[in-house]
């Protein structure tokens, strides 16, 4: 199975500012990652060659910021590295960059007079380690000296280092071609080795590195890094020479050494490790296409399939979590269960889906699953009304793919009943069933939860439209399960509450004048702003709307909110509409759900469109194909960004790789466009 590839030529790389907007990402299955730009200039504090998840999937710590190289030939020194400081780029090694590719790992190819250098970056699975394989081809008549300078740090990935105000405390030692730096705050050991040549100890600080993207976001953007010395190899005249530099991090020297040993200590070892990683990715594609034999392989689809691997990660005790987005998001309940079908069910990773469901059940408290599990070692936060309802929906989707009622009955059923009971009796944050059968909740509990100065940007307290849709859907799922498990009295109860909610919903939420749904109904009135949340009501398996109303909802959303990259969060004619997601945190938060486009919403849009217009699959295929084909070559290469500007040209913003941006359009493409329906869908829904 051929792996996907993105190639950037020298011409594309010569446009400096545009090239800096293209970023690559390699993950290790633990929550750790490596990332930078295609020019090798780190533009974010989240960039680095080794961001280790020291308490997987959390406590992500930047350990190796980068490797900068130089070539010494004929008494001249040519720097291949590139770093940005305020108002200056030094050195400017990107000028020697002739080609960049991701296939699926990033590779830089430099030409300096008679020397060509290829630099390939990869991470071994489930290790806090990174390896860079160098291939140096010298056509020179004299020897060439090649040096690699590591830039180290030891900081949480949200922070920066100021060596004068908050100096790093560490000790350094050398063993042949390997060095080790032991940091004391936090207690982390970083080690690196070269498979050939030698290490020359020459301590130095690279100060006041500038991260332009953080500056744009109003975040801390000046950083200091420590340079312990350099690795050096000598390349004979007219020779092709290969070697590798590997680095690892851990909370102890033993952990670090074990991670390095997993990569190998010889060049051949490292190349074998690289081949194993490539083989694993080919296997992911083979498994997908063996399941969906009718689905033709193509470059963008392969990227999306491989991209699902980036977000499903192993934690402590072999627990499985979903990273919501790279670089700065962690494990979020809402994102997890919206993404779970596309990440794990469409791709056949059912065992991991079970572990995710069980992990959140373990944290379920007073009828709510957590909104956020930041580092798996902090107290979970529960300030969400929809994460729990998406959780119940994920159970249904799991059954549609597996038919595994036994697992649900034995492992989940008791907790599911407690969840619904808690909602009926009253849960935290004002979550309760009202006398009309609909679900009341406080502000900032839906996915539109941005705030400025402690105030909700989009106040949606009361009864939000998608919450009612998810509540009804959950009740019908509970009715289905209770019937399957021979609990007839419970099934009747769930059916009665659902029927009451359906009548109230159609009475209170239908906006006859605009032929769509109100966004929020509360004691103070209705919010008639045209937002995409109503599309969820038309997309879920159990729908409170008749066919005519569903069709009108779909067409209203299509007319006012649809873009080539997702749905706007607010119609353009609304007073609160903001067309660009840029500037300070305040500016961005004001735009986040007031016009900004979200790719994940294409999932429910496509599903709802397919229900009301079954003949429209060609239209939907063109829409999703355009999104995927264009976006995998922009911003985060091989993946889909978190958000896009509401105004054309819909510039990608936010995280360069977002779980639900990949998962939901992928699920909809497979299920609704290609009509590759879940194996047990008819059987489950007809129970």
For the purposes of burial, counting CB atoms within 10 Å of the CB of 687, is it exposed (0-12), middle (13-18) or buried (19 or more)? exposed
Please, which residues have CB within 8 angstroms of residue 302's CB and are 6 or more apart in sequence? 2, 3, 4, 285
Biggest CA pair distance of the chain = 88
| % of the chain beyond a pLDDT of 70 | 99
391/352 Cα distance (integer angstroms): 15
Write out 223-277 in H/E/C secondary structure: EEEEEEEEEEEEECCCCEEEEEEEEEEECCHHHHHHHHHHHCCCHHHHHHHHHHH
Separation CA 216–CA 230 (nearest Å): 33
H-helix or E-strand spanning residue 108: strand 106-112
The rounded distance, in Å, linking the Cα atoms of 455 and 443 is 9
> Is 6-169+187-281 assigned to CATH 2.70.98?
yes
Reduced to 3 states (helix: H, G, I; strand: E, B; else coil), residue 680 is coil
Secondary structure (H, E, C), 509-565: HEECCCCEECCEEECCEEECCCCCCHHHHHHCCCCCCCHHHHHHHHHHHHHHCEECC
Q: What is the mean pLDDT of residues 340-348?
A: 98
Beta strand ranges found along 177-238 (DSSP E): 178-184, 187-194, 198-210, 222-235
DSSP alpha helix (H) spans, 123-177: none
| Average pLDDT for 30-37 | 97
pLDDT of residue 316: 85
State the Cα–Cα distance between residues 59 and 201, nearest whole angstrom. 29
Residues 6+ apart with CB under 8 A from 312: 320, 321, 322, 343, 344, 349, 352
Provide the residue count of the chain.
687
**Domain ranges, ordered by start, for the chain:** 6-169+187-281, 300-680
How many degrees, rounded to 5, is the angle at CA 437 between CA 435 and CA 441? 85
What pLDDT score was predicted for residue 87? 86
* pLDDT tens for each residue of 140-178: 889 999 999 999 999 999 999 999 998 899 999 999 999
| Residue 611 in this model has a pLDDT that exceeds 80 | yes
Per-residue pLDDT, 375: 60
**275-307 pLDDT per residue, tens:** 999 999 999 999 999 999 988 889 999 999 999
**Mean pLDDT score across all residues of the chain:** 96
Separation CA 536–CA 514 (nearest Å): 18
Pick the closest to residue 195 from 127, 270, 124 (CA basis): 270
Cβ atoms of 331 and 321 within 8 Å: the answer is yes
CATH architecture for segment(s) 300-680? Alpha/alpha barrel (1.50)
Give the burial string for 241-264 (b: 16+ CB within 10 Å, else e).
Answer: bbbbbbbbbbbeeebbbebbebbb
Q: What is the pTM of this model?
A: 0.96
Between CA 200 and CA 259 the distance in angstroms is 23
**pLDDT tens string 663-677:** 999 999 999 999 999
Number of H helices, E strands in the chain: 20, 39
161-174 burial, b for 16+ CB within 10 Å, e for fewer? bebeeeebebeeee
Strand partners, 26: 34
The closest of 21, 174, 183, 49 to 120, measured between CA atoms, is 49
How many CB atoms sit inside 10 A of residue 275's CB? Answer: 11
Long-range pairs for 618-623 at CB < 8 Å and ≥24 separation? 620/668, 620/672, 620/673, 621/669, 621/673, 623/564
User: In this structure, what DSSP letter does residue 428 have?
Assistant: G
Cα angle 419-662-374, degrees, rounded to a multiple of 5: 50
pLDDT category of residue 687 using cuts at 50, 70 and 90: low
- Tell which wins on pLDDT, 278 or 317: 278
Do the beta carbons of residue 385 and residue 446 sit within 8 Å? yes
CA gap 29, 56 in Å, rounded: 9
Integer Cα distance of 507 and 485 in angstroms: 33
In b/e form, how buried is each residue of 642-654, taking b as 16+ CB within 10 angstroms?
bbbbbbeebbbbb
**Residues 218/584, Cβ–Cβ less than 8 Å:** yes
pLDDT at 378 exceeding the cut of 80:
no
Question: Are the CB atoms for 53 and 77 separated by under 8 Å?
Answer: no
Q: Give the range among 13-17, 378-382, 561-565 with minimum mean pLDDT.
A: 378-382
Neighbours of 409 (CB within 10 A): 14
CA 680 remoteness from chain centre: 29
Question: Residue 121: how many CB atoms within 10 A of its CB?
Answer: 21
> Residue range 67-88: average pLDDT?
95
Question: Would you place residue 185 in the very low, low, confident or very high pLDDT band (cuts 50, 70, 90)?
Answer: confident
- In this prediction, residues 393-404 reach a mean pLDDT of 98
Burial class (CB in 10 A: 0-12, 13-18, 19+), 180: buried
pLDDT digits (tens, 9 = 90+) for 319-328: 999 999 999 9
Asked if residues 289 and 348 have their Cβ atoms less than 8 Å apart, the reply is no
pLDDT score of 686: 85
């Amino acid at each position: 199975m051929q792996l996907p590839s993105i190639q950037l030529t020298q011409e594309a790389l010569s446009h400096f500012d545009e090239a800096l907007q293209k970023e690559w990402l390699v993950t290790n299955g633990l929550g750790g990652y490596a990332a930078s730009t295609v020019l090798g200039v780190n533009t974010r504090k989240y960039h680095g060659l080794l961001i280790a998840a020291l308490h997987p999937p959390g406590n992500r710590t930047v350990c190796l910021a980068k490797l900068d190289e130089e070539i010494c030939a004929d008494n001249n020194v040519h720097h291949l590295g590139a770093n940005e400081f305020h108002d200056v780029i030094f050195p400017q090694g990107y000028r020697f960059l002739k080609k960049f590719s991701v296939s699926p790992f990033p590779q830089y190819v430099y030409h300096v007079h008679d020397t060509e250098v290829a630099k390939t970056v990869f991470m071994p699975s489930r290790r806090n380690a990174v390896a860079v394989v160098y291939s140096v081809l010298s056509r020179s008549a004299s020897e060439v000296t090649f040096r690699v300078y590591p830039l180290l740090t030891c900081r949480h990935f949200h922070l920066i280092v100021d060596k004068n105000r908050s100096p790093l405390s560490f000790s350094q030692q050398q063993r042949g071609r390997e060095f080790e730096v032991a940091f004391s705050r936090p207690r982390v050991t970083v080690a690196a080795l070269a498979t050939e040549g030698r290490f020359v100890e020459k301590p130095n600080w690279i100060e006041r590195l500038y991260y332009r993207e953080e500056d744009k976001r109003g975040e801390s953007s000046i950083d200091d890094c420590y340079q312990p010395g350099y690795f050096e190899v000598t390349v004979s005249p007219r020779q092709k020479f290969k070697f590798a530099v590997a680095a690892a991090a851990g909370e102890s020297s033993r952990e670090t050494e074990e991670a390095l040993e997993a990569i190998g200590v010889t060049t051949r070892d490292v190349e074998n490790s690289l081949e194993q990683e490539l083989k694993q990715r080919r296997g992911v594609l083979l498994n997908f296409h063996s399941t969906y034999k009718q689905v033709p392989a193509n470059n963008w689809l392969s990227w999306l399939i491989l991209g699902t691997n980036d977000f499903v990660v192993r934690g402590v005790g072999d627990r499985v979590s979903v990273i919501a987005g790279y670089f700065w998001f962690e494990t979020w309940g809402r994102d997890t269960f919206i993404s779970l079908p596309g990440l794990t069910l469409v791709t056949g990773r059912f065992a991991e889906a079970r572990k995710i469901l069980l992990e959140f059940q373990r944290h379920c408290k007073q009828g709510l699953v957590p909104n956020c599990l930041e580092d798996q070692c902090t107290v979970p936060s529960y300030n969400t009304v929809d994460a729990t309802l998406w959780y119940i929906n994920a159970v249904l989707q799991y059954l549609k793919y597996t038919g595994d009622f036994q697992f649900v009955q034995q492992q989940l059923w008791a907790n599911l009943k407690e969840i619904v009971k808690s909602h009926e009796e009253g849960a935290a944050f004002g979550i309760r069933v009202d006398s009309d059968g609909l679900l009341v909740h406080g502000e900032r509990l839906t996915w539109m939860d941005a705030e400025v100065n402690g105030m909700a940007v989009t106040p949606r307290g009361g009864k939000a439209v998608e919450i009612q849709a998810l509540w009804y859907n959950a009740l019908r799922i509970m009715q289905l399960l209770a019937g399957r498990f021979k609990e007839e009295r419970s099934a009747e109860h769930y059916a009665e509450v659902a029927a009451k909610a359906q009548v109230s919903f159609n009475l209170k939420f239908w906006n006859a004048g605009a032929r769509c749904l109100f966004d929020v109904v509360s004691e103070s009135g209705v919010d008639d702003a045209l937002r995409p949340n109503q599309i969820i009501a038309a997309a879920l398996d159990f729908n409170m709307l008749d066919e005519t109303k569903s069709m009108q909802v779909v067409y209203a959303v299509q007319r006012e909110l649809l873009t080539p990259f997702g749905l706007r969060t607010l119609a353009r004619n609304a007073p609160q509409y903001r067309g660009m997601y840029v500037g300070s945190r305040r500016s961005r938060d004001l735009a986040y759900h007031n016009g900004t486009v979200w790719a994940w919403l294409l999932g429910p849009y496509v599903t709802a469109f397919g229900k009301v217009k079954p003949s429209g699959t060609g239209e939907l295929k063109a829409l999703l194909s355009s999104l995927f084909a264009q976006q995998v070559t922009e911003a985060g290469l091989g993946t889909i960004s978190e958000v896009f500007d509401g105004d054309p040209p819909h510039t990608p913003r936010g995280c360069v790789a977002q779980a639900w941006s990949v998962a939901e359009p992928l699920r909809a493409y497979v299920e609704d466009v290609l009509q590759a329906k879940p194996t047990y869908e008819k059987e489950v829904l007809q129970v």
